[in-house]
Amino acid sequence: MEKLAIANYTQQLKTEAARLGFDFCGIAKAEFLNDDAQRLEKWLQQGMHGKMHYMENWFDKRVDPRKLVPDAKSVISLMLNYYPEEIQQTDIPKISKYAFGNDYHFIIKEKLKMLLAFIKENIGEVNGRAFVDSAPVLERTWAQKSGLGWIGKNGMLINKNAGSYFFLAELILDIELSYDSAMTKDYCGTCTKCIDACPTEAILPDKVIEGSKCISYLTIELKEEIPLEFKNKMDGWAFGCDVCQDVCPWNRFLKPHSEPQFNSTQEKLNLSSREWIEMTTEVFNKLFKDSPIKRTKLTGMKRNISFLFPSK
């Protein structure tokens, strides 16, 4: 494919991504991630993943997109803002902002399908796969390699102009495109606000996250009882945690998202601990039918809330 045609196709693709609602789109060459392979192997060996045994699976696919899509040449990284306008009341079980609205997996997957269909229609026969946080893809690394931001001390992908409240998604394709320059500068500097603020001290130096201490892990991933060592350390978070993002200076000037399906209702946002404990499965299934919260199930939410508010 000629360079002019590649540049033209790349621009068409990015224009369509913006039309579909994605806030940022960057492209990197599909290749083996040598540095990440070493970091991931060390992280797993140290048991930082806790009971997330699935992190041990598909190691080769996590560090090489060509194992996911044969003859892959390009990794397209996309970002979609989810920062909400709504806020929760105080003194109630806290829910991570990404779970305020409907499940992002389905919303973004639909957008990716449309983008892939556009590519096939306008570029030709393309083999590719779409990924939304549900497959062995190191999405933050690819976003950084695509120039969309840097990985902060809290392990999040941070965009200099828009912060970190973004969902990340990827298209891996077997065609060559124009590649963006990787983000090589780290704008965290000497700031340690996220490290200092983490209620369970899960954020370690050198951008290492001790997953088994992270509140998101404890409230969502962990299926057993929450260890007593975290009693009175979880700051009221019942589903996920936003502390390390809320304190990040790069999130000071955020603008709310424009995706209607990410909106919530006061009925869902402001349930008291008593209302959660007394909730029936029927009510839960009705209220959270399309929500990420259904992942932990009602039994998981009641476990979390009983641990946080034992007297209520």
The pLDDT value recorded for residue 303 is: 98
Name which residue leads in pLDDT, 137 or 311.
137
Task: Give me the pLDDT at residue 123, please.
Answer: 87
Active-site residue, selected from the candidate residues 71, 133, 174, 246:
133
Task: Give the tens place of pLDDT for each residue, 20-29.
Answer: 999 999 999 9
What is the pTM (predicted TM-score) of this model?
Answer: 0.91
pLDDT band at 34 (very low <50, low <70, confident <90, very high): confident
Domains of the chain by residue range: 3-173, 193-252+265-308
Phi, then psi, of 73 in degrees rounded to 5: -125, -25
Whether 51 has a pLDDT exceeding 80, the answer reads no
Return contacts of 277-283, CB within 8 angstroms, 24+ apart: 277/302, 277/305, 277/306, 277/312
Q: Report the residue count for the chain.
A: 312
Query: Given this model, what pLDDT does residue 263 score?
Result: 95
Confidence band of 206 (pLDDT split at 50, 70, 90):
confident
The C-alpha atoms of residue 107 and residue 21 are separated, in whole angstroms, by 11
pLDDT at residue 81, as a whole number? 98
Cβ neighbors of 266 (< 8 A, separation 6 or more) are 86
186 counts as catalytic: no
Using alpha carbons, select from 251, 180, 254 the residue that is nearest to residue 17.
180
Lowest-pLDDT choice from 61-70, 106-115, 287-296:
61-70
Helices (DSSP H) in 190-242: which residue ranges?
Answer: 193-197, 215-216
Report pLDDT for 35. Answer: 74
Task: Work out the pLDDT band at 218, boundaries 50, 70, 90.
Answer: very high
- Binned at pLDDT 50, 70 and 90, residue 57 comes out as low
**Cross-strand bridge partners of residue 169:** 78
Give CA–CA dist 167/161, Å, rounded: 16
What is the C-alpha radius of gyration for the chain, rounded to an integer number of angstroms?
Answer: 20
Mean pLDDT throughout 51-58? Answer: 56
- The token pair that represents 149 in the structure block: 């931001």
Strand partners, 80: 167
Identify the architecture of domain 3-173 in CATH. 3-Layer(aba) Sandwich (3.40)
pLDDT classification of 166: cutoffs 50, 70, 90: very high
Whether 54 shows a pLDDT value over 60: the answer reads no
Provide the mean pLDDT of the chain: 91
Instruction: Give the span between the Cα atoms of 287 and 107, in whole angstroms.
Output: 18
Instruction: List, for residues 225-244, the tens digit of each pLDDT value.
Output: 999 999 999 999 999 999 99
Structure confidence by residue, pLDDT tens digits, 74-98? 999 999 999 999 999 999 999 999 9
